[in-house]
Amino acid sequence: MKNTFKNFGKLAFVLTFGAMTFSCTEDDDANMNEPQSNIALSATAESSSPEGRVNDRVIVNGFATSQFAVGTKDIEMKYAAKADLLAGISIGNITLKSNVNTALHTESSKSKNAILVNDGTIQVSALAEGRSPDGNYTEVDFRLFKKMEGNSNDPMFEKSLWIAGEIDGKISTIWLTSEKALKARSQNAAGVEVDGQTEMVLAFDMDKLFANVNFSTAVDANSDGKIDIGPNSADGNATILAQIESNLESAVVLKRR
């Protein structure tokens, strides 16, 4: 009798473990049964500011940007499945699916440093490319990436976001060090449709990033000839930094390139 109970216990364990394994595999492979297309994802900056450009700098709200770089990692994209859309379900009533365990997700999860503005010229930096399910992509979850390799000669060293330029002609720098979690939403409610080769871009809107920021209050407290706006900077400027951090999530938009 004891052996019977022992054998039954072993069988129950095997069946339970097997069911758990099957369940995990089934979840992991869920989107592998959907039609997929190749997607290229990039990052860029944009601005429609009437201040325009002066001396090879992007001028927004009094800040003249010459350099802009950002680190990204753990990018996960959310989409309305093509089958649900073809079934006539309104996109607002569709439960979004994740593109985890796809080739695109594997690539976009890696830590990257993207240059968005270089010498005052807006750039497009590749983040990832790979296959992902067809559908309408409406959300992107990601984290900022703090670069820890290198040395102080690299302006992105120990930073997750770095912007250099001028305020009223004085050299100025803005930076973050946190690996903040962000959510970017599509430019319109319908999202970016994927049905074949598609290029998408995460656009950092500088007008939104610098919204309600009063750069005229920025100070060079330590009188070194530069205005620093960052965590624990010698110049302070904490109110300006807090507003930029608050603006950051609403400043990133998913668009078709």
If residue 10 lies in a helix (H) or strand (E), which one and from where to where?
Answer: helix 2-28
Q: What average pLDDT does this structure show over 234-241?
A: 96
State the pLDDT confidence band at 58, using cuts at 50, 70 and 90.
confident
pLDDT digits (tens, 9 = 90+) for 143-156: 999 999 999 999 99
Lowest average pLDDT, out of 45-54, 77-86, 88-97, 159-168, goes to 45-54
Q: Whole-prediction pTM value?
A: 0.86
Q: What average pLDDT does this structure show over 21-33?
A: 49
| C-alpha dihedral sign at 90, 96, 97, 100 | positive
If residue 176 lies in a helix (H) or strand (E), which one and from where to where?
Answer: strand 170-176
State the pLDDT confidence band at 2, using cuts at 50, 70 and 90.
very low
- Contact (CB, 8 A) for 128 and 108: yes
Mean pLDDT in the chain? 89
pLDDT, position 249: 87
- Contact (CB, 8 A) for 254 and 184: yes
What percent of the chain stands above pLDDT 90? 82
pLDDT, position 48: 83
pLDDT digits (tens, 9 = 90+) for 178-196: 999 999 999 999 999 999 9
- Contact (CB, 8 A) for 119 and 67: yes
Lowest average pLDDT, out of 24-33, 45-54, 125-134, 214-223, goes to 24-33
How many angstroms separate the CA atoms of 2 and 6, rounded? 6
Domain boundaries of the chain, sorted by first residue: 1-33, 35-256
